[in-house]
Amino acid sequence: MSGYTPPSMPDREDQTHDEPQIEAAGDESPEDRQVARLLEHSIDVPVLAEAVQRQEAADAADTLEQIEEQEAVDVLVAMDERAAAEALAEMEGPLAEGVIEDLRDEDRVDYAARLIQLMAPDDAADLLQQLDDEDLREAIIREVPAAASVILRRLVAYDEETAAGLMTTNFISCRDDMTVSEATEVIRASKIPEDVNYLPVTDVQQRLVGTVGLRALLLGRSQTRVADLMETTAKMIRADLDREEVAREFDRYDLSMLPVVDDGDRLLGIVTVDDVIDIIREEQTEDVQKIVGAGAEEAVYSHIGEKIRGRLKWLVTSLFLTLGAAVVIVFYEDLIRDHWIVAVLMPVIAATVGNAGHQALAVTLRGIVLDEVRRERVWPLLAREGAVGLLNGLAVGLIIFGVVAIASLVVSGASWQIGLVAGVALAASMGAGTLAGSAIPLVMRRLGADPAQSSAIFLIMLTDGAAFATFLGLASFMARWIEVVP
């Protein structure tokens, strides 16, 4: 057996029932309904703690997130420690961090350490990595027993964006020279994660040599060696592999577990599919936030300072880029003053072109994230997006031409000529905007930058500039042409 396993969870009296308790996914459990009733009144900490510890860990975390931080701390302290540790591990990062800091302020670092010790090693390391206060992190680790603290220090030292930062050391491995009987005894004496159906196999030097399925062990003869049953072509991942690549491996090959090894192929830990689900969710939210210039690590409950640090620099960048696009308007001051309809149509065209660009941006980023964009297919992709933008622009341009032409019958200052110019400008700039929406993330990737990082900000500058320049340029030419040709 290899790896660190937290103490087993004792059976809770409330989990013993005379009849099976089967609930549909999404339905509230009796425990959830009881907690909801308690929250409708003033909080009685002991009573609420008793109810919360009966909830599933994820539901208990939701309950703690609904109440004030200090109240959440009081409830956690009053709960069964195992249940409290599981709930704390499920809480949103910034809120869990706040709970740990409050425990420090109450001189309860020893209690925080006990909760950390009871968590799965990867969950404990994730929470410790989120702590901005390194002294607090070190104080907690010092309170943990020596064997567990060594593992925690090693996990915390890994980059959280890599496979090693995701892995857990709470795993079981078999030696290749074991018999099926010996391996079965190891499994019976250990706790296997529910989503793992095969185990890593190592040699005497702890080097990964394959994997063996639990089914193969169940059906194998007692004296058969594990080496005779294992798969030697099993996949593994290096400790420094980026977590997005880890997620792609799980998705591509429908895996439930991957061993993590060092440069010498020595087994360090495993990554399980539940961790990958968390990766996918986090990467999706990070990409969405980075597109608009929010901090990649920012969460709903992040501290004000963290939110400002993540957003302000990109807001300033957006300000100057937008000013650059708006400079185009200065050159057409007389046109806008003499033709009010031009001022009305400008934001309409710019917004429509920007929307088209964002559609292309979203689709291209999705292709990059899913590794669907091949280098040899970049030019056909850009050509396709440009054609889509132009054709959509012609359709929408025809609509705006019709609207302005009809309006000219009842509104002074509107004319079919302005409608025609607006339609042509919309078609041309939508083609350009859609092309830009696809090109920006591809160019950023080519330059080695994050394709998602603030792509929307740069796109807005290009689409606004293209829309203003095209529409105002054509409108100015049309105005001069009307004056020359009555």
Answer yes or no: is pLDDT of 8 > 60.
Answer: no
- CATH of region 304-484: 1.10.357.20
Answer yes or no: is pLDDT of 198 > 60.
Answer: yes
Answer yes or no: is pLDDT of 445 > 60.
Answer: yes
- CATH of region 26-157: 1.25.60.10
Most confident of 66-70, 167-171, 204-208, 460-464: 204-208
Rounded to whole angstroms, the Cα distance separating 440 from 426 reads 20
Average pLDDT score over residue span 58-87: 93
Rounded to whole angstroms, the Cα distance separating 238 from 246 reads 10
Average pLDDT score over residue span 227-252: 90
The distance of Cα 401 from the centroid of its chain, to the nearest Å, equals: 42
pLDDT score recorded for residue 292? 65
Strand ranges of the sheet holding 237-238, from the earlier edge strand across to the other edge: 237-238, 257-261, 267-272
- The pair of structure tokens assigned to 358 is 């964002």
pLDDT score recorded for residue 486? 36
Answer yes or no: is pLDDT of 456 > 50.
Answer: yes
Q: Beta strands 198-202 and 208-213: pairing type?
A: antiparallel
Whole-number CA gyration radius for the chain: 30
Q: Which residues, including other chains, have CB under 8 Å from residue 294's CB and lie 6 or more apart?
A: 310, 311, 314
pLDDT score recorded for residue 209? 95
pLDDT score recorded for residue 311? 78
Q: What is the pLDDT of residues 333-356, one digit of tens each?
A: 888 888 888 889 999 999 999 999
The fold for domain 174-291 equals CBS-domain (3.10.580)
Rounded to whole angstroms, the Cα distance separating 234 from 68 reads 48
Most confident of 8-17, 99-108, 366-375, 472-481: 99-108
- The reply to whether 174-291 shares the fold of 26-157 is no
- The pair of structure tokens assigned to 286 is 């990070």
Every domain of the chain and the residues it spans: 26-157, 174-291, 304-484
pLDDT score recorded for residue 337? 84
CB 64 within 8 A of CB 86: no
Answer yes or no: is pLDDT of 163 > 80.
Answer: yes
Most confident of 146-155, 271-280, 447-456: 146-155
Nearest Cα residue to 415 out of 429, 401, 394: 401
Strand ranges of the sheet holding 208-213, from the earlier edge strand across to the other edge: 174-175, 198-202, 208-213
Task: Quickly list H helices, 189-239.
Answer: 214-219, 226-229
Mean pLDDT of the chain: 85
